[in-house]
Amino acid sequence: MTSTAPHLIAPSLLAADFARLGEEVAAIESAGADWLHLDVMDGHFVPNISFGPAVVQALRPHSRLPFDVHLMIEPVDPYLEAFAKAGADHITIHAEAGPHLHRSLQAIRALGVKAGVSLCPATPPEALSQVLDMVDLILVMSVNPGFGGQKFLHGQVGKIRTLREMINKTGRQIRLAVDGGIDTETAPVAVAAGADVLIAGSAVYGRDDYAAAIRALRSA
């Protein structure tokens, strides 16, 4: 079962040149990206540290693209408002990042931004069965979160398929994103399983020609 929505390409800023972030954000919009994916890592939920709301806020004037903020942090609730105020359009939290996923999703919706939830590779799709009415976006991690440039875990494809079926049964417009190891070989696998948002760091920001890299992913 595939999606009827057009597929979106969301380059991940994690693979950009951190010394020139403003230019990198503007360049990816000109290159035809649909969303900008921003990976926030705390050195606690994941074994890496990236950036926080001050960087998101500083980048906001450099692009009109939707800012898709992927929070790999724990706890999450104390920081939601800061990311919304910084200019996040979507805030995605991890189902594994605390016992009160429902409350955190309520808090995101109350801030007036789109609510996303992400699953690490070891978490089954059923973890979301009680919150499907509260989410605008589901993000399947096809690597263990924390680093760019890892290999796509093919064992996650069945989960993408199951989540596509769960989403279609709701009749709601819920985007299904896949994040980690997406390139021209794995993008078609993810899309065939039902994904409609492809998040890619190295396969876009790691290339010299961003527009060509985005076109290649779109047509793959």
Ligand X SMILES: O=C(CO)[C@@H](O)[C@H](O)COP(=O)(O)O
Q: Where are the beta strands (DSSP E) in the chain?
A: 8-11, 36-41, 67-72, 90-94, 114-119, 137-141, 175-179, 197-200
Q: Which helix (H) or strand (E) holds 208?
A: none
179 is catalytic: yes
Q: Which of 179, 187, 194, 204 binds Fe ion (CB under 5 A)?
A: 179
Name which position in 66, 87, 145, 194 contacts ligand X (CB under 6 A): 145
Is 95 among the residues that bind ligand X (CB under 6 A)?
A: no
CB closer to ligand X, 125 vs 148: 148
d(CA 23, CA 16): 10
Annotated catalytic residue: which of 34, 42, 68, 179?
179
| Catalytic residue list contains 196 | no
Q: Please give the angle made by the CA atoms of 26, 49 and 27, to the nearest 5 degrees.
A: 10
Least spacing, CB of residue 139 vs Fe ion, in Å: 7
Residue 68 CB neighbours (<10 A): 30
Q: How far is the CB of 84 from ligand X (least distance, A)?
A: 20
Active site residues: 39, 179
- Residues in contact with Fe ion by CB under 5 A are 39, 70, 179
